[in-house]
Amino acid sequence: MVQHLRVTYNDIHNLIRKSTPELAQYNPDLLVAIGGGGFFPARVMRTFLREVTEHKALQIQAIGLSLYEPVEGTSVDQIGQEVIRTQWLGPDSGKLLLGRRNLIVDEVDDTRKTLHYALSELQKDVEVELLKYPESERAALREATKFGIFVVHNKNKAKLAELPADTPYYAGATVEDLWLDYPWEAIDIEAHDRDAAADKAHD
């Protein structure tokens, strides 16, 4: 039987609040939310980081990636196997990222495929942008461009992709390999919250 962990909006809010001191040390200039699970966490994170850093106009940009959900024009065989890009930062992606401390935000690190894809593709965009600069300036610009990752939950399981060892990585909580029920997937949010409270009472 599959074990479920019901997560509430308050749970997510509090995990991000708890993570804020570490995230403030990374001090991102830009949040890149992976849709759709990274949208709500990124918005909450922006509120906390604006309070404790100098980035009062901290921006959130969005990318759309799908691994487990069907996407028009893809086959059933691709679901769970291949990351599909559904939305990106636009034609000047690299310009937006270059020279900034970028933080990729998602709800869960499950197989790590989605995070690996997002990071590697955003880094490719930076490399394309760097070609517009004199070679003498590229090393300094590349060094000034950083990427970190934040997830609300990291599943304690073998990953199917790796991240560079020097990538700053933050997780609100590490959990076992459970089925995570997020509140934005609930039709009846009151019932979801009641079930989550009952689960906590039994722990």
* Rounded CA separation 171/146 (Å): 18
Catalytic-residue membership of 110: yes
Angle between helices 113-130 and 135-144 (to 10 degrees): 150
Task: Please pick, among 29, 110, 195, 203, the residue that the annotation labels catalytic.
Answer: 110
Q: Which long-range contacts (CB under 8 A, 24 or more apart) does 188-195 make?
A: 192/6, 192/8, 193/8, 195/6
* Rounded CA separation 153/172 (Å): 6
User: In this structure, are residues 63 and 88 in contact, taking their beta carbons and an 8 Å threshold?
Assistant: yes
Active site residues: 110
